[in-house]
Structure 1
Amino acid sequence: TGRLDSRAMRRIGFPWSPALVTRTCAAVGGTILAARLALSHGVACSTAGGTHHAHRDWGSGYCIFNDLAVAARWVQREGLARRVLILDLDVHQGDGTATIFAGDPTVFTFSMHCAKNFPFRKPPSDLDAPLPVAADDDAYLAALAQHLPRALDAFEPELVLYDAGVDPHREDRLGKLALTDAGLYRRDVTVLEMCRARGVPVATVVGGGYDEDLEKLGRRHTTVHRAAVAVFSDAASA
């Protein structure tokens, strides 16, 4: 309706417009669709989503509705999956997701992020893996290899919702980490291979990314889609 007060809009970070409403609802719907398709086909990749700073009753940090939370609840309500793991590899901690599912044994929240970055107050996820500023490909992938198998094997999810934010990239203006293009690709392949090896469907969203060169940024956001083709191409042709 455009009736949010100026304080609420400042917290979100976007000016209100009808186009913003359309975009926001479409992104949430896209994540729900990706979750449904992943449960049918093993993997599905949205071209939007990852609004992990949105809380239950307020938006923040360019996030209005938490599409990951909505999709998790949707698949549970529809009886399609009971146990959902939300894997958040955006460079910023998923504070909204963490607070929404705090104390909920049916949703496991795992955030690996830059320790010294937004949000400055980080409510605990079920598993947080904070990384130091300037962590490079090797450090990042080692941390992922340490934590993700444990989370998957201990929680045994029926669906993974994967926020494949590209803001850990070394050229990202808000990231503070130092991953290369190759490092992001290896990250996404690693996640998808681990899920596939365990027979866990995975739905991906693009998450954050901040670069004035939109062509570079757009290419960077396709990383998870290219990784999905590489990991699941034989399944599609079977």
Structure 2
Amino acid sequence: MREQPEQQAPPVQRLRIRYAKRGRLRFTSHRDFSRAFERAVFRARIPMAYSSGFNPHPRISYAGAAPTGSASEAEYLEIALAEVVDPAAVATQLGEALPPGLDVLDVVESPGGSLSDRLEASHWLLDVAADPAATEAAVAAFLTAESVEVERMTKKGMRTFDCRAAVVSLAVVAPEQGDADAPVRPGLRLDLVLRHGVPSVRPDDVLSGLRKVAELELGGQVLLTRAAQGPLHDDGTVGDPLSF
């Protein structure tokens, strides 16, 4: 019989981490990031806990990753450790080991429970190049519609779904001056809060919905930035999942 693998000791501490994807690193896929993060914890000598089995791997749980190509200030993961460490020290060590653009923002001890369950909604900022009046009209038409069906290619083929139901709020606002990632051409900013669910609705699905309801024309670069991700409050704002 095949010899059974050694069983790893259970974790003694869990840490939750918020990190950002900025600049060119927004084009990093989730798979590429996970590889970069595993290399970073190894270089930083973080005392990771490992899974049992024939191919042990560090215990890292990812939650709510942003689509490839979008920037984010609110990406989350949880790591399990074999030793009790200072979260602030881990933040510093990982910050030095990760490439610029993948930036650790917060590290806190996990209170237990599911991190994914705390990620109920996302607050997105969409910088677009479009006519202001046409954009306002498209947003108004979108919000008054009972449903807006769009199509997106998935791993299981083309899928049609309603993107309106997931939209908590959508408004046209002026872009902040001095944004490093703002479009080169003059544009507008859409302020969007999306409720997480099944099927998962992404910001580009909402843009497709705006094109459908009002034939809105978007020219030039479109920049998607997740500003926050966490619990959905009764007033429609998105809270901090690391705050209890």
Task: Confirm or deny a common fold (TM above 0.5).
Answer: no
Shorter-chain TM range is: under 0.3
* Structure with more strand by fraction: 2
Q: Under a length normalisation based on structure 1, what TM-score does the superposition of the two structures give?
A: 0.26
Q: Under a length normalisation based on structure 2, what TM-score does the superposition of the two structures give?
A: 0.26
* Structure with more helix by fraction: 1
Higher RCO by CA contacts (8 Å cutoff, separation 6 or greater): 2
